[in-house]
């Protein structure tokens, strides 16, 4: 078993994209910018800032351009944006993202529900994006429903590997396997990532989990044991997919970073600063958030011994 021992693990913060996209209340643009600026001081290596989706499809992120223009970029932090199609890519590129995260679905039904196009159309969109952004801006591809689909059920590993093969043929160098509705279990996670890394040793795989059934951190552990060192997570455990019924919060960033650090992994992240940012969330989104560490504090927390009666 991997015991951490100083091994480097990278966490990408996705709260302002995966989290805010399903919040019923619109988080004001200035508040989004302030949160991202605060996150930029925590040592996070990557922040997925927003999504250049259709403002009609995802009104919560209709201010993507203003947010990208408003944030102060920290040296050493990569600022990514999600793009679902060529149109979104063109809008995004005007705001100088460090990376484009193109999202597509492993299952046809979720592809139609989430993106309103077939998987084949998605791949055609991706080709166009690579043609227009290719050389200048790196592209990560996130495969939704990689561990199961809320409409179709099981998604076979062969489907994922065929898709990854097509991405590699297009020149993609980074791929995220996403458990969109929190159906993955640790045995499945370990098998899929082990096989993926065996098939494509040069590809950088990211694991993206949701805590819908309480398994997010167990799945992280299983992915670590398969050699994965890149994880998506969402501050406070916010998140979900607007077009995937039953989707709830992502793996919680501060809970994940705390687990990694207590295990001895090097994250480069200031946990206290991260917790400080997380504590702003409930007032920002108007409800309690699922993250545990916000209330529990880190495991090193001490209490005074009770006085004896």
- Choose between 10 and 225: whose C-beta lies nearer to a copy of itself: 225
- Choose between 140 and 190: whose C-beta lies nearer to a copy of itself: 190
The minimum distance between CB 290 and a copy of itself, in angstroms, equals 9
The minimum distance between CB 153 and a copy of itself, in angstroms, equals 6
Query: What are the Cα distances from residue 46, in Å, to 76, 187, 212?
Result: 9, 28, 24
The minimum distance between CB 58 and a copy of itself, in angstroms, equals 15
Long-range CB pairs of 56-61, under 8 A, 24+ apart, other chains included:
57/116, 57/242, 58/21, 58/242, 59/26, 60/20, 60/21, 60/22, 60/23, 60/26, 60/27, 61/17, 61/20, 61/21
Dihedral through CA 226, CA 154, CA 248, CA 229, nearest 10? Answer: 10
Half-sphere exposure of 188 (CA within 13 A, CB side): 18
Distance CA 281, CA 283 (A): 5
Q: Give me the phi and psi of 215, to 5 degrees please.
A: -100, 5
Minimal CA–CA distance to 257: which of 302, 227, 307, 292?
292
Q: Which of 89, 149, 178, 241 is flagged as catalytic?
A: 241
CA angle 151, 152, 156 (to 5 degrees): 140
| Paired residues of 205 in beta bridges | 175
- Choose between 146 and 252: whose C-beta lies nearer to a copy of itself: 252
Do the Cβ atoms of 215 and 183 come closer than 8 Å? Answer: no
Count the Cβ atoms, other than its own, within 10 Å of residue 56: 7
The minimum distance between CB 74 and a copy of itself, in angstroms, equals 27
- Choose between 75 and 156: whose C-beta lies nearer to a copy of itself: 156
- Choose between 50 and 212: whose C-beta lies nearer to a copy of itself: 212
- Choose between 167 and 178: whose C-beta lies nearer to a copy of itself: 178
The minimum distance between CB 16 and a copy of itself, in angstroms, equals 21
Minimal CA–CA distance to 53: which of 107, 123, 16, 102?
102
Query: Given the rule CB under 8 A, which residues bind a copy of itself?
Result: 1, 3-4, 109, 112-113, 116, 148, 150-151, 153, 182-188, 190-191, 211-218, 220-222, 225, 243, 245-246, 248, 252, 255, 258-259, 262-264, 291-293, 296-306, 308
Catalytic-residue membership of 241: yes
Instruction: Give the tokens for residue 146.
Output: 């990689």
- Choose between 1 and 136: whose C-beta lies nearer to a copy of itself: 1
| Paired residues of 233 in beta bridges | 13
The minimum distance between CB 299 and a copy of itself, in angstroms, equals 4
The minimum distance between CB 263 and a copy of itself, in angstroms, equals 4
Query: What residues are annotated to the active site?
Result: 241
């Amino acid at each position: 078993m991997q015991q951490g021992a100083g091994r480097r693990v990278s966490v990408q913060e996705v709260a302002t994209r995966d989290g805010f996209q399903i919040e019923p209340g619109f988080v004001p643009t200035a508040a989004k910018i302030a949160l991202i600026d605060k996150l930029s001081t925590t040592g996070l290596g990557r922040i997925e800032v927003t999504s250049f989706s259709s403002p009609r499809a995802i009104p919560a992120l209709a201010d993507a351009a203003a947010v990208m223009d408003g944030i102060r970029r920290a040296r050493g932090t990569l600022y990514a944006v999600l793009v679902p199609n060529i149109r979104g890519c063109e809008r995004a590129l005007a705001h100088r993202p460090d990376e484009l995260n193109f999202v597509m679905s492993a299952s046809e039904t979720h592809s139609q529900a989430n993106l309103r196009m077939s998987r084949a159309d998605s791949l055609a969109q991706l080709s166009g994006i690579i043609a227009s952004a290719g050389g200048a801006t790196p592209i990560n591809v996130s495969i939704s429903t990689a561990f199961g689909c809320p409409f179709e059920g099981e998604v076979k590993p062969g489907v994922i590997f065929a898709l990854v093969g097509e991405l590699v043929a297009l020149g993609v160098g980074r791929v995220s396997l996403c458990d969109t509705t929190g159906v993955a279990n640790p045995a499945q996670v370990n098998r899929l990532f082990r096989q993926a890394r065996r098939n494509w040793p040069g590809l950088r795989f990211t694991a993206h989990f949701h805590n819908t059934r309480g398994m997010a951190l167990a799945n992280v552990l299983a992915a670590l044991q398969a050699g994965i060192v890149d994880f998506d997570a969402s501050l406070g455990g916010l998140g979900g997919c607007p077009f995937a019924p039953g989707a709830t919060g992502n793996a919680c960033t501060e809970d994940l970073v705390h687990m990694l650090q207590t295990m001895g992994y090097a994250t480069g992240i200031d946990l206290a600063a991260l917790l400080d940012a997380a504590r702003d969330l409930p007032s920002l989104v108007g409800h309690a958030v699922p993250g545990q560490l916000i209330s529990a504090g880190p495991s090193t927390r001490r209490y005074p011994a009770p006085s004896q009666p």
